Homo-oligomer: A and B are copies of this chain.
């Protein structure tokens, strides 16, 4: 039984579908690929092909059931199970993410924050106490966190990632301005805010010309 490999771009789009179905919960019973495409500024073909990778969620002549799709896509994304995460770097960005309400809504629970600044260690943020980064390895080794968010300065990020990988972390969301090197089997997603800002800067310049 061979499964078609699912392209990465499809997975990247999945959260947008999820968001839409979530927003329509209790508002309407069903949606067609055409309507979905209009709302999400994509094509009906793409919607159908994307969703078909995971099995026949739709019904001919009817469309897609909002409640069912919300549940199914949630399962695919792994949101049905509780997920624990930690943050390394208790700077402003780390603290902002610690309190990000959407993360909690979606079932992610913050277990700990780590920092190397003695001034910060011990303070409380987002309901958890900031721990010394010296305790990071043990914490992860004990399986206390499935994934980690790195918000340290770039110089420290690779070292932190090494510790995480050596102790069996499953995934990393990286905000440091460099591309992390991780062990195979560890999922990584880099969010380079500055890069996005620079690309935006280019498009602003282009608009000005046009």
Q: Across the interface, which residues of B come within 8 angstroms of A14, CB to CB?
A: 198-199, 202
Q: Across the interface, which residues of B come within 8 angstroms of A79, CB to CB?
A: 198, 201
| A103 contact from B19, B187, B191, B197, Cβ within 8 A | B197
Main secondary structure, interface of A, reads helix
| A177 contact from B19, B96, B179, Cβ within 8 A | B19
Whether the pair A106, B16 counts as a contact (CB closer than 8 A) is no
Closest A-B pairs by Cβ, 9 of them: A187-B203, A15-B195, A92-B96, A78-B205, A15-B198, A171-B204, A96-B96, A78-B201, A93-B96
| Interchain Cβ contacts under 8 Å between A and B, 19 examples | A15-B192, A15-B195, A16-B192, A18-B198, A76-B202, A77-B202, A78-B201, A78-B202, A78-B204, A92-B92, A92-B96, A92-B99, A96-B96, A147-B200, A170-B208, A171-B200, A171-B201, A173-B200, A189-B203
Does A194 interact with chain B (Cβ within 8 Å)? yes
Copies per complex of this chain? 2
Which A residues form the contact surface with B (CB < 8 A)? 11-12, 14-16, 18-19, 40-41, 76-79, 83, 91-93, 95-97, 99-100, 102-103, 106, 108, 146-147, 170-171, 173, 177-179, 185-187, 189, 191-208, 210
Bound: A108/B200 CA distance, A:
12
Whether the pair A179, B147 counts as a contact (CB closer than 8 A) is no
